[in-house]
Amino acid sequence: MTVMDFITRHLTDDEWMDGAACKGMTHLFFPTPAERPQTRERREDAAREICESCNVRLVCRDFARDNHEYGLWGGESEDERHTAGYRLIAPIGVRARQSG
Ligand code: SF4
């Protein structure tokens, strides 16, 4: 059993969040209304840097994939999850960003 298997099997959805490196930084992980593309890129780059050193990154990424979350989770944006086959229920903005 890998460490990630152990974590996944022994922590509830809420417990893994105790190890989140992004506590108090919600503004980096979710867009504001009408966010400009350049602003989004800078915000998501800053968020990804935090995710890279986070101890629960893979659990976080999988949680977002399984629950069709919006925002940046586990170093992965909603667009990246959508493209990877983890479809958003209502993909706001994804098609517009990908067709541009
Ligand atoms: S991987 Fe990123 S989004 Fe997930 S808990 Fe860690 S810092 Fe937060």
Quote the pLDDT of residue 51: 98
pLDDT tens sequence across 27-60:
999 999 999 999 999 999 999 999 999 999 999 9
Angle, helix 57-67 to helix 3-10, in steps of 10 degrees: 50
Percent of the chain's residues with pLDDT above 90: 69
Atom of ligand 1 nearest to the CA of 47: 2
If one residue of 13, 52, 56, 66 were mutated to test the ligand 1 pocket, choosing by the most ligand atoms within 8 A of its CB, it would be 56
Q: With a 6 A CB cut-off, is 58 part of the ligand 1 pocket?
A: no
Quote the pLDDT of residue 88: 78
Atom of ligand 1 nearest to the CA of 72: 3
Q: With a 6 A CB cut-off, is 20 part of the ligand 1 pocket?
A: yes
Q: Helix, strand, or coil here: 9?
A: helix
> Of the candidates 55, 63, 64, 100, which has an alpha carbon nearest to the alpha carbon of residue 82?
64
Model pTM score: 0.80
